Amino acid sequence: MNIPVFVISLKGSSERRRRLDEHFNKMGIAFEWYDAIYGKELSEKEIEASCNMEAVNRAPNWLTRSAIGCALSHINIYKEIIRRQAPYAIIFEDDVVINKDFQKHIEALLPQLKKNEIISLFYQSWYPLELVKESATEFDKNYKLYEVADMVQPISAAAYLVTLDACKTLIASIVPISYTADSWGEFKKNAAFDSFRCVYPRLVDVVDAKSTIQYLEDDWKGKLMKWIDNNKVFPVYQYLRYKRKKSRQKMMGVKIVDKKTNTSHA
């Protein structure tokens, strides 16, 4: 598979890196680690230089330092893709699990790729994600590309394919940071790319683990949750895993619909 593959991961996440290294080597996927920017280590000056502070101050519980670090990590990879003039690349976060025929599917997908486009390989939504039936393009047996009926819906930046042109317009449109890395609806509204499509069925899944890249904070709640996860404290750990599983199942729903809509879920 002749395509750059970047994996965003905190430098100290040794267990996650070991798991993914074994998984990708088994699948024959060549990749590069990108050390995620840990938002808690950013100075106030760096935050102010990177962000729209009005947006940060409006939503401090959403645009946390960890979320800002995650967004910067993705933005820096866009800059690296531009520096290399790579026509396209795949960006992963370190909790992914790929389809056993992933390389074959990607090779079949590439001829369908538009010039300024993002292809989501893993996605979630607070409501069943509505994919537009008439937009379907089959690129491999049982796999299709779909446009999204309502761009407010799709979230997750865990796995996606991005073109060189999309990297350029993303940089021009989403810097300074006003949104999290997976705010695809806001990005589309601001003309950060021309096209956004989803692969269905998904080519990528994620492990049942709490993100270490995006929203893990170092306040007392974050430290407590991390301690519970690390020590598997019964019965809280089991309850939290159950809650995550139920939430994940809900967010993985997909619905094929006849046409696009301009409405969004309240």
Burial class from Cβ neighbours inside 10 Å (0-12, 13-18, 19+) for residue 265 reads: exposed
Calculate ∠ Cα 98-11-175, nearest 5°: 80
Strand, coil or helix: 74: helix
Whole-number Å distance between alpha carbons of 221 and 80: 35
Report the pLDDT value the prediction gives residue 1, as an integer from 0 to 100: 79
- 252 has a pLDDT exceeding 90: yes
Of all residues in the chain, the percent with pLDDT exceeding 70 is: 85
Predicted TM-score (pTM) above 0.85: yes
Stated as kind and residue range, the H or E segment containing 196 is: strand 195-200
Report the pLDDT value the prediction gives residue 246, as an integer from 0 to 100: 59
Report the pLDDT value the prediction gives residue 128, as an integer from 0 to 100: 95
pLDDT grade, residue 241 (50/70/90)?
A: low
Report the pLDDT value the prediction gives residue 264, as an integer from 0 to 100: 43
Residue 261: partners with Cβ closer than 8 Å, 6 or more residues away: 130, 149, 150
- 180 has a pLDDT exceeding 70: yes
Strand, coil or helix: 191: coil
- Quick one: CA torsion of 70, 72, 74, 76, rounded to 10 degrees? -150
pLDDT in tens, 121-177: 999 999 999 999 999 999 999 999 999 999 999 999 999 999 999 999 999 999 999
Whole-number Å distance between alpha carbons of 75 and 72: 5
122 and 205 Cβ atoms separated by less than 8 Å: yes
Report the pLDDT value the prediction gives residue 257, as an integer from 0 to 100: 96
Q: Annotate 102-132 with DSSP letters as a single string.
A: HHHHHHHHGGG--SSEEEESS-B-SSPEEEE
Q: Token pair of 67, please?
A: 């979320």
* Longest Cα–Cα distance in the chain: 51
Which of these, 50, 26, 36, 40, lies nearest to 6 by C-alpha position? 36
CB atoms near residue 76 (< 10 Å):
16
- Considering the chain, what is the average pLDDT of its residues? 90
CATH topology classification for 5-257 = Spore Coat Polysaccharide Biosynthesis Protein SpsA; Chain A (3.90.550)
Residues 176-186 have a mean pLDDT of: 97
Report the pLDDT value the prediction gives residue 234, as an integer from 0 to 100: 72
Report the pLDDT value the prediction gives residue 235, as an integer from 0 to 100: 74
- 199 has a pLDDT exceeding 70: yes
Whole-number Å distance between alpha carbons of 50 and 73: 12
Which of these, 99, 72, 89, 58, lies nearest to 213 by C-alpha position? 72
pLDDT in tens, 67-115: 999 999 999 999 999 999 999 999 999 999 999 999 999 999 999 999 9
Provide the terminal-to-terminal Cα distance of the chain, rounded to the nearest Å: 41
- 217 has a pLDDT exceeding 90: no
86 and 164 Cβ atoms separated by less than 8 Å: yes
- 214 has a pLDDT exceeding 50: no
